[in-house]
Amino acid sequence: GAVVSQHPSRVICKSGTSVKIECRSLDFQATTMFWYRQFPKQSLMLMATSNEGSKATYEQGVEKDKFLINHASLTLSTLTVTSAHPEDSSFYICSASVSGVVNEQFFGPGTRLTVL
């Protein structure tokens, strides 16, 4: 199946700093990438949908100025958590779709962010 990677897998940062998470589709071109967040024992919550070359579409309640998403190429999307705070500590997972079809998403391994 299609492979999606994320980097870094874990990151610990101080409050107030910014953290960038990369999501790459390794063996296919992804027209659409999705960013999710998962809190412990909770479901994956969609944060935003990004299409290559255009602005991301954010879900209600997700601050676009805090969670900057860039989808500069068909194989790379980045999520930058700006001025991170302890409440941003979470598991962030990206997924990619070849066709843009929502049901056909391949997930990355996730990034564990801990903000001290």
Partner 1 sequence: DQQVKQNSPSLSVQEGRISILNCDYTNSMFDYFLWYKKYPAEGPTFLISISSIKDKNEDGRFTVFLNKSAKHLSLHIVPSQPGDSAVYFCAASAVDDKIIFGKGTRLHILP
Does position 98 interact with partner 1 (CB under 8 A)? The reply is no
User: Does 6 contact partner 1 by CB under 8 A?
Assistant: yes
- Residue partners of 86: CB distance under 8 A and separation at least 6: 15, 115, 116
Site stretch for partner 1 (CB under 8 A), options 11-19, 60-68, 81-89, 99-107: 99-107
**Residue 112 Cβ, how far from partner 1 at the closest point, in Å?**
7
Sole binder of partner 1 in the list 11, 46, 62, 76 (CB under 8 A): 46
Conformation bin of residue 115: beta by default, left when phi > 0, alpha when psi is -120 to 50: beta
Q: Does 109 bind partner 1 (CB under 8 A)?
A: yes
As measured in angstroms, the least distance from the Cβ of 15 to partner 1 is 23
Rounded Cα distance, 90 and 36, in Å: 10
d(CA 80, CA 94): 13
